[in-house]
Amino acid sequence: MKGKAWKTNMHTREVSASACPDIEALSAGLSVLLCTILFMGKRSGRQERSKKLELAQSETMKAGADVQNSNKEAEEPKAKDQRLMSLFGVADLKNEAIGLYNVGQSCCLNSLLQVFLMNIHFTGILRRIMIPRHAAQMRRNVPYQMLLLLEEMQRGKRKAVFPTAFAHCLSAYRVKLFVQHDAAQLFLTLWNVIKMQMGKPELVEELSDLYTISVQEHLACQKCSLETKRNSSMLTLPLPVLDSNSHKLKTLEDCLQYFFHPEELTDHNMCFCEQCGRKTPFLQSLKLVHLPKTLTIHLKRFCFEKSAYIHKLSHYLPFPQDLDFSAVLTEDQCQADDNEKAAWQYELFAVVAHSGSTSYGHYCAYIRSLTECKWYCFNDSEVCQVSWDDVKCTYGHSNLYWAETAYLLIYMKKQLQ
């Protein structure tokens, strides 16, 4: 079948490649810099809605070159390997949480790293990776470098550590320092590289189960009722915060209902029907099949004006601490049995927030410790305990130019009794 509805355009946008700055130079004198957010995609109104079937799990990060084997094997002390493999997660520590120094507009990367490493389900997978044998492999292996960073964060009571070695590793996969990154895009890039280099098939499967959302796409011809179904998967739920008439959606629940609401494809959006032999109006819908243990929601707080200027949407949009998908979505919006829907009980784990405009700004992360059940604000090297009222400040405020707004919401599935 031809037509607009089956196009999948949410591929991970590649970051332009260049050599990463020398590690010693970075470590010597980098101060905390502000990073800017780079919003992507020209989607607003009905065009934005007709693109909602985009898939975020496409394997788009391809390594530029194969890892070169080095004849010189790196030193692998047995004690160090045992120490690495015994790590579980930053959230397990009883001492203070550790920050990450900004090493060149890396506030976006730092925020995402903290979200990954504070997730004990993710670090439980990370600590079981296969340790690379050669120095060249170690330098280019993202999961291994993430494990080394985790070890360094747990080693002492320092205020913060430098993620320069990890950033240098990412440069081999077109993720540069000193450039502005989009948090949703960088999350997809990191996840794809981690999955590609995980090594053990069982760990790849566990990683996919931890983050992957399963949906079923439906297209129904309005002339002959011919219906086509397709199962697909996503890494994030990319929720618009405006409806097709550019009206502001008022709550996260409204955004979810709008995302899964059927849409009529008419006029220039019509699809070709094989049974009718011509383009006809179609009804496009998306049904939820399965939700993972760690659910990532991307709030699309941007729109394009007629002048092609990207405008940030900072209006007030509350989100709950506890979220029950089976209560938010209707029966027609779900393609799951009762046992699956009974497990759709979530509580908020983390918020990646952005302050500033589309031209410049700054990222930080609010994360709830899974062991202490306390909220922390990770602002690069500065980490402090905060309250739920502090987290609620990321709901947004249209009248504040530097309004801090939630951009990524990470929910964790509740443990059923």
Catalytic option among 121, 362, 364, 377: 362
218 a catalytic residue = no
Contact 44, 242 (CB under 8 A): yes
Alpha carbon distance 176, 14 (integer Å): 11
Sequence-distant (6+) residues with CB within 8 A of 282 are 3, 5, 219, 220, 221, 222, 264, 265, 270, 271, 273
Residue whose entry in the numeric block shows the structure tokens 């009974």: 342
Of residues 251, 269, 268, the one with CA closest to residue 259 = 251
Would the CA dihedral through 160, 161, 166, 171 be positive or negative? Answer: positive
Q: Are 253 and 261 in contact (CB under 8 A)?
A: no
Q: Please give the Cα distance from 373 to 391 (Å, whole number).
A: 14
DSSP output for 126-193: HTTSPPPSBHHHHHH-HHHHHHHHHHHHHHS--SEE--HHHHHHHGGGT--SSS---HHHHHHHHHHH
Rounded distance between C-alpha atoms, residue 310 and residue 41, angstroms: 10
198 to each of 127, 153, 195, 331, how far by Cα in Å?
11, 21, 5, 37
Report d(CA 56, CA 122) in Å as an integer.
Answer: 19
3-state secondary structure of 375: strand
CB burial readout 337-369, b (16+ within 10 A) else e: eeebbebbbbebbbbbbbbbbbeebbbbbbbbb
Residue type, 271: C
Q: Is 11 a catalytic residue?
A: no
**Active site residue: 20, 35, 107, 255, which one?**
107
Residue 411: left if φ>0, alpha if ψ -120 to 50, beta else—which one? beta
Q: What is the largest CA-CA distance in the chain?
A: 69
DSSP letter at 54? Answer: -
Residue count of the chain, please give it.
417
What is the enclosing helix (H) or strand (E) of 123? helix 120-126
Instruction: Please list the active-site residues.
Output: 107, 362
